[in-house]
Amino acid sequence: MAPMTLHPDSLAVHAGREDLAGLGVHALPLDLSSTNPLPGLELGGLSYEVLATGGHPFEGGSHVYARLWNPTVARFEEALARLEHAEEAVAFSSGMAAVTAVLLALTHDSGHRHVVAVRPLYGGTDHLLASGLLGVETTFCRPDEVAGALRPDTALVVLETPANPTLELVDIAAIVSAAGDVPVLVDNTFATPLLQQPLELGAALSLHSATKYLGGHGDVVGGVVACDARLAASLRRTRAITGALLHPLAAYLIHRGLATLPIRMRAQQANARAVAEWLTTREEVSRVHFPGFAECDSLGLVGTQQAGPGAMIAIELAGGFAAAASLVGSVELFTHAVSLGSVDSLIQHPAALTHRPVASAAKPSDALVRLSIGLEDPADLIADLGRALSARAEVREHADSSLG
């Protein structure tokens, strides 16, 4: 088999599984060992040394201890790296653990503590950067302000596209060019490697909350970063030292999820387009943010930088916060819950939840509601939203008439 010529749909099914037939198994082997037998003190010690400094296992050595290496996790990492067109990938216990490891590794390796962060970002990432918890000093800016925000001691530029929660698209190549020699981290969670490969556009690192589309079924938490071999070694070293491991069972579930990622993404994206188009016809909705609409993609990035619009929608309610609160409380088929990218549709209010810790100047509007569109029939999703939006209208009419 010539792996590099496989279509992404085939890669998603086969990557990280190439040796299974030779092992005589069909499903991904799940290795739950917390510790591993040592071949002897000398080779055991050498294995420890190699793995704790971010290297790969060697023939005749040992994996030593689960914090240093796990084969089930390594399979998932290999598969994700292939989909991202990266040399390697390193998995973590959550998306935030992955962000934390990138910040620790890059500030340590460069000896610099300054980060430029393009807003908007996921609320947790914004919170971590603003908190100063890791000793990192952050300058937040808009996409066109990156060059001016750089300092001689800038270790990293962070961006997200489509960005959480407004689905704003950021031109990755333009930011890479503005960043010069400074490495750029792209949070690729919303697009997934099926729609977008940031490393092809010059980014140094592509990060995912694997909790979302990669896992895809709302039953696993994880994070992963795709990058070159040098950065991967630094991230593995950081993971070995700080311990934010992806559990092998979680890696198994996320890897299993990868096989259906292309077909899920295409179906969810088509559903999202249908729902987004219908939402534009509703008078209760003052604005629909969906990257598939030309007015939401002024840089023309859908079809070039990113292969499709994705399956996330954000809407602003004409009735403001009260209407937004009523909508999230009135849906029945949608689940009112944070997170996204699952097979089922979710709805949430970013200002009150995922973006609650964000500074008020950068907080999303309290009229904004975010929808993650799943695999249900789009007509059922539309009917649910229609009922929930009219429930609000009835409340308002009732209130108006009782006032009258």
Ligand X SMILES: *Cc1c(COP(=O)(O)O)cnc(C)c1O
- What are the residues binding ligand X (CB under 6 A)? 94-96, 122, 124-125, 160, 164, 187, 189, 209, 211-212, 221, 223
Which C-beta is closer to ligand X: that of 36 or that of 348?
Answer: 348
| CA 137 vs CA 105, 175, 346: distances in Å | 15, 19, 34
Beta bridge partner(s), residue 65: 35
Minimal distance, residue 10 CB to ligand X, in Å: 27
Smallest distance from ligand X to CB 188, Å: 8
CB 62 within 8 A of CB 39: yes
- Cβ of residue 244: shortest distance to ligand X, in angstroms? 10
Instruction: Say if residues 227 and 205 touch (Cβ distance below 8 Å).
Output: yes
Give the shortest CB-214-to-ligand X separation in angstroms.
Answer: 10
- Asked if residue 259 lies in contact with residue 83, where contact means CB atoms within 8 angstroms, the answer is no
CB of 263 to ligand X, least distance (A): 21
Q: Quick one: tokens of 362?
A: 């950068």
Sign of torsion over alpha carbons 102, 200, 155, 68: positive
Q: Which residue has its beta carbon closest to ligand X?
A: 95
CB 359 within 8 A of CB 120: no
Which two three-digit tokens encode residue 359? 């500074």
Tell me if 29 sits within 8 A of 72, measured CB to CB. yes
Minimum CB distance to ligand X smaller for 62 or for 189: 189
Cα separation, 208 vs 65, in Å, equals 25
Closest separation in Å from C-beta 55 to ligand X: 27
Closest to ligand X by CB, 95 or 291: 95
Q: Specify the pairing of strand 205-209 against strand 137-141.
A: unpaired
Residue 236 structure tokens: 């593995």
- Say which residue the tokens 């190439």 belong to: 18
Provide CB contacts within 8 A for 232, sequence distance 6+: 54, 87, 88, 89, 90, 225
Taking the least distance from each CB to ligand X, the nearer of 211 and 269 is 211
Give the position of tokens 């939203």: 385
CB atoms within 10 A of CB 39: 13
> For residue 141, what are the β-bridge partners?
118
Closer by beta carbon to ligand X, 247 or else 392:
247
Q: Which is nearer to ligand X, 139 or 339 (CB)?
A: 339
Active site members: 67, 122, 187, 212
Pick from 245, 312, 315, 313: nearest CA to 287: 315
**How many angstroms from the chain centroid is the CA of residue 126?**
14
Closest approach, Cβ 92 to ligand X, in A, equals 9
Amino acid at 67: R
CA distance 168 to 53: 38
Nearest-CA neighbor of 186 among 222, 139, 226, 214? 226
Closer of 84 and 160 to ligand X (Cβ): 160
In the bound state with ligand X, the residue whose beta carbon lies nearer, of 62 and 125, is 125
Q: Note whether 350 and 167 are within 8 A (CB).
A: no
